[in-house]
Homo-oligomer: A and B are copies of this chain.
């Protein structure tokens, strides 16, 4: 298992009339988390797209345990537990500064050919890098 960590500060625009960071924003935080996990691996998600490979999200599951508020600094821990096939699953945990875990989530993405939008095998260089990581 490999864990990557980013910090995100809740934007004013992301709050809702309850004062909560609206739950819809978390999908963006998770996306930022997996971008950075891939960067940790030496893989730029932008470079993958430039190769004509896209990674749309197939499934998103999120539990919201506690709210986050404006200007809270959140830590997003993104982890990769399994070797990717045509699909790849990322796991997320969101923590507040005081260490309280406020959300857990997972997303399943699929590798697709950017032109045909049909599922393909993940690029070899990506698998090689993941192999090093998970061993």
Contact = CB atoms under 8 A, between A and B. Distances in A.
A4 interface: no
Contacts of A59: 61-64
A56 interface: yes
B27 A11 contact: no
B12 A16 contact: yes
Contacts of A44: 71
B58 A71 contact: no
Interface in A44-62: 44-46, 49, 54, 56-62
A41 interface: no
B64 A56 contact: yes
A15 to B, nearest CB: 4
B15 A16 contact: yes
A23 to B, nearest CB: 5
Contacts of A28: 11-13, 24
A95 interface: no
A97 interface: no
A56 B18 contact: yes
A12 B54 CA distance: 12
B12 A35 contact: yes
7 contacts: A12-B31, A16-B17, A17-B69, A24-B24, A56-B64, A59-B63, A60-B64
